[in-house]
Amino acid sequence: MKLYQHHRLRRTAMDELHSNRQIKITTGWMGLFLIGFDTTVVIIAMNQNAPVVLIPFVIATLVSLGAIWWAQHGNGELTASPPFGAEKITPDSSHAQPTKPVDWNYQSRLCRPSPQKGLTMNKHEQQARAAKQARQKKIRGITFGIITVIVLGLSVSLLVSAFSPKTPPPAANTIDITADMGGFNMKEIRVKAGNPVTIRLTSLDNSHHTDGGGKHQWAVDEFGASVVAPAEGTNFITFTPDKPGTYTYYCDICCGGRANPTMQGKLIVEA
């Protein structure tokens, strides 16, 4: 009977070892996919001038890594799993195999092994422990799946919204302004207070410029208005100047930023 229990415990430990290795490999590849996906989107967002999606994707990556670690280890030791690196997987200590060879009692005609430390659990304890571990593994797997679906869904949603074509601004009350390394083509803009106005900014510089990468900005702090045009591209913003007065608009990306007089202009809001 004890010999049977010994072989059963050994088989359980080996099964758990293989099961753990399969789970770790799966979540390891899932982690590589999530990291690669988020990193690719961040790079695209930076090139397309969509900084609004950078923070959510960084958060999504951190949440993904946390979910992967929890699914792999729970409260265990943090180790690398394929494809990130080799690992040494140790079975649960409750199913540890005897560290010493089985001491066969040749004086007994039953040829049964002498009792070993760690093999004294009865059948009910083994079943209860196995059921508990199965429940914990199932809960971790479900939680990891839910988090993964949420992260991927949020990522796809942000990606679609960030790179979907914007509705072109109305032709009425739209002001076209260009910018290059020499400054803005317009040094003064006049608008009416209380009327929505659209600024359509075009950058004439290419992406090979080391100072700002060819991007240019048009911003007025008092109205919280700021738009950045990509290299050799166009972007626009619509806002309503509600207070008459003279305000400064500027580009703070390159060529000395807003401290450079050529990268500034006057926005005159008339009553």
217/155: higher pLDDT: 217
Q: Is the pLDDT confidence value at 131 over 70?
A: yes
249-259 per-position pLDDT tens digit: 999 887 777 78
Establish if 168 belongs to a structural domain.
no
Type of residue at 65: L
Residue 169 pLDDT: 62
Q: Is residue 138 part of a domain?
A: yes
169 occurs within a structural domain: no
Question: Is 24 domain-assigned?
Answer: yes
Residue 53 in this model has a pLDDT that exceeds 70: no
pLDDT of res. 33: 67
Q: Is the pLDDT of residue 89 over 60?
A: no
- What is the 3-class SS of the chain, one letter each residue? CHHHHHHHHHHHHHHHHHHHHHHHHHHHHHHHHHHHHHHHHHHHHHHCCCHHHHHHHHHHHHHHHHHHHHHHHCCCCCCCCCCCCCCCCCCCHHHCCCCCCCCECCCCCCCCECCCCCCCCCHHHHHHHHHHHHHHHHHHHHHHHHHHHHHHHHHHHHHHHHHCCCCCCCCCCEEEEEEECCEECCCEEEEECCCCEEEEEEECCCCCCCCCCCCEEEEEHHHCEEEEECCCCEEEEEECCCCCEEEEEECCCCCCHHHCHHHEEEEEEEC
Q: Are 33 and 134 part of one and the same domain?
A: yes
Q: Which residue has the higher pLDDT, 113 or 214?
A: 214
Residues 70 and 159 in one domain: yes
Verify that 33 and 105 share a domain, yes or no. yes
Q: Which residue has the higher pLDDT, 254 or 174?
A: 174
Structural domain boundaries enclosing 242: 174-270
- In this structure, the answer to whether residues 251 and 153 fall within a common structural domain is no
Question: Is 57 in the same domain as 113?
Answer: yes
Cα–Cα distance for residue pair 234/196, rounded to 1 Å: 19
State yes or no: pLDDT of 48 exceeds 60. Answer: no
* Average confidence (pLDDT) over 142-163: 72
| Whole-number pLDDT of residue 149 | 78
Within this chain, do residues 13 and 133 fall inside the same structural domain, yes or no?
yes
| Last residue within a domain, chosen from 132, 163, 194 | 163
pLDDT at 133 (0 to 100): 85
Tokens 């695209």 found at: 44
CATH number assigned to the domain comprising residue 254: 2.60.40.420
Number of domains composing the chain: 2
Most confident of 40-49, 88-97, 109-118: 40-49
Instruction: With 0.75 as the threshold, say if the pTM is over it.
Output: no
Q: Residue 31 and residue 25: Cα distance in Å, rounded?
A: 10
Same domain, 222 and 158: no
Mean pLDDT of 12-27: 49
Q: Are residues 69 and 198 in the same domain?
A: no
According to the model, what pLDDT value does residue 88 have? 44
pLDDT attached to residue 4: 47
Residues 70 and 119 reside in one and the same domain: yes
Whether 155 and 263 map to the same domain: the answer is: no
pLDDT at 109 over 50: no
Whether 212 contacts 253, CB under 8 Å: yes
Question: Where is the domain boundary, 106, 131, 163?
Answer: 163
Co-location of 186 and 211 in the same domain: yes
What pLDDT was estimated at residue 3? 47
